[in-house]
């Protein structure tokens, strides 16, 4: 079974130029699951993003729980970036999230070359937030 991020990587390979890829990223953002209004607060807001970005985490049970994420942004392109990050991480065990090479995966998409520095920083902030959630899930499972 192909993962969501593999599917996105395959789709990117068929797109010839970055204008088409940007449109595709925006389309991905349009496909995000609805984000709960009550989670549009400071607790769920991701600091370090120029646009407003929110992430909501649901933890499964056990010593290495599965983490599921919902996300949203007030900017179309950033919503697409949220969708890509969620495709990489959502539905994964906490340990797998910590082992994932997000920067390498995003490099294979060419995002590192085509994002403004502000968007790249925001993307790193989202990844750091998700990694902290995974670390906390594992730490709480041990205690």
**CATH number of the domain where residue 61 is located:** 3.90.1010.10
Contact at 8 Å (CB) between 122 and 81? yes
pLDDT digits (tens, 9 = 90+) for 84-114: 999 999 999 999 999 999 888 888 888 777 7
Residue 30 annotated as catalytic? no
Strand bridging mode 53-59 / 92-93? unpaired
What's the domain count of the chain?
Answer: 1
In terms of Cα–Cα distance, which of 140, 126, 54 is closest to 97? 126
In DSSP terms, which residues pair with 55 in a beta bridge? 71
Along the 143 residues of the chain, how does pLDDT read in single tens digits? 458 899 999 998 888 888 899 999 999 999 999 999 999 999 999 998 788 999 999 999 999 999 999 999 999 999 999 999 999 999 999 999 999 998 888 888 887 777 888 888 889 999 999 999 999 999 987 76
- Of 28, 49, 85, 134, catalytic: 49
Residue range of the domain that includes 32: 4-142
């Amino acid at each position: 079974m192909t993962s969501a991020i593999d599917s996105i990587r395959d789709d990117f390979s068929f797109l010839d130029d970055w204008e088409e890829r940007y449109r595709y990223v925006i389309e991905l953002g349009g496909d995000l699951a609805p984000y709960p209004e009550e989670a549009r607060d400071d607790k769920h807001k991701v600091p370090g993003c120029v646009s407003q970005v929110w992430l909501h985490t649901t933890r499964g049970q056990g010593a290495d729980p599965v983490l599921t994420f919902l996300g949203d942004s007030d900017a179309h392109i950033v919503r697409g970036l949220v969708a890509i990050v969620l495709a990489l991480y959502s539905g994964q065990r906490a340990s797998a999230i910590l082992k994932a090479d997000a920067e390498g995966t995003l490099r294979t998409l060419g995002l590192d070359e085509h994002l403004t520095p502000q968007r790249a920083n925001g993307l790193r902030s989202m990844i750091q937030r998700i990694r902290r959630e995974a670390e906390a899930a594992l730490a709480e499972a041990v205690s």
